[in-house]
């Protein structure tokens, strides 16, 4: 047990602790162990309903989410994806993971992608642009 720091707000309470312990005790750590009863699958159904969409896919982290998005857009070898020059490594890593080439675009004084430079980078190989808000 890690004591709460007096300087930091507590992010998780007893409800979250019980939920995590329930999953651990069930032995079902992913949707594939028991498709229709796994906590992950139930959460995906609730998220889809909340968002008003047919499907939702929970992933382990943001990089995995970016990879899934790029695959969904059919980005792959021979494609280029424009990313900001000031960003998380995940943007470039996801692009490389699907076999595409990351192309860096300059940022402006907002620390976001510079629209003028972005436009100059678009060519026949450009398949997507990842915008990162810093």
Exposure string over 14-49, b if 16+ CB within 10 A, otherwise e = eeeeeeeeeeeeeebeebeeeeeebbbbeebeeeee
Q: What is the pLDDT of residues 71-108, one digit of tens each?
A: 999 999 999 999 999 999 999 999 999 999 999 999 99
The whole model's pTM is what?
A: 0.77
Element spanning 6, H or E: none
Give the pLDDT confidence of 2-28 residue by residue, as tens digits.
566 667 777 888 999 998 999 889 888
- Measured CA to CA, the distance from residue 34 to residue 28 in angstroms comes to 7
DSSP state, 2?
P
Average confidence (pLDDT) over 113-126: 97
Q: Is the pLDDT of residue 1 over 60?
A: no
pLDDT value for 74 = 98
- Count CB-CB contacts under 10 A for residue 88: 16
């Amino acid at each position: 047990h890690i004591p709460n720091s007096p300087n930091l707000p507590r992010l998780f309470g007893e409800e979250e602790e019980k939920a995590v312990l329930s999953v651990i005790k069930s032995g079902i750590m992913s949707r594939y162990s028991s498709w229709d009863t796994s906590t992950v699958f139930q959460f995906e159904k609730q998220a889809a309903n909340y968002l008003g969409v047919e499907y939702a896919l929970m992933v382990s982290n943001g990089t995995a989410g970016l990879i899934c998005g790029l695959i969904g857009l059919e980005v792959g070898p021979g494609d280029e994806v424009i990313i900001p020059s000031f960003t998380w490594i995940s943007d470039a890593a996801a692009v490389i993971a699907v076999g595409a080439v990351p192309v860096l675009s300059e940022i402006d004084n907002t620390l976001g992608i510079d629209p003028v430079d972005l436009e100059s980078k678009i060519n026949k190989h450009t398949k997507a642009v990842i915008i990162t808000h810093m």
